[in-house]
Amino acid sequence: MRKVPLQEKGTLNPAETAELYDFSVRKLSRLLKQKNLPFVLMYNKRKLIDREKFDAYLRFRPGLKASLRNGEPLYKARSSAS
């Protein structure tokens, strides 16, 4: 059974959304805590994101997309050549 690529999925969980859009998981979690978001679907206690509605939501809020982006790492990765 083949795994469906994230770009082709209609609904995503928060971790998949963060990976697909290169968002910070924490910042996305903070956004998802808001009430009455048009793109959030509830499945029992799980929050799923309707990708089409989420794209439309981001399209009309250009500053939001930039604020959810992953920042630069605080520390540089150590190089293996020492």
Claim: this prediction has a pTM higher than 0.85:
no
Domain boundaries, the chain: 9-68
| Mean pLDDT to the nearest integer, 2-29 | 93
Q: Is the pLDDT of residue 80 over 80?
A: no
CATH of domain 9-68: 3.90.105
The predicted-structure confidence for 37-75, as pLDDT tens digits, reads as follows: 999 999 999 999 999 999 999 999 988 988 888 877 667
Percent of the chain with pLDDT over 70: 89
Buried b (16+ CB within 10 A) or exposed e, 48-57: bbbbeebeeb
So what's the pLDDT on residue 79?
A: 63
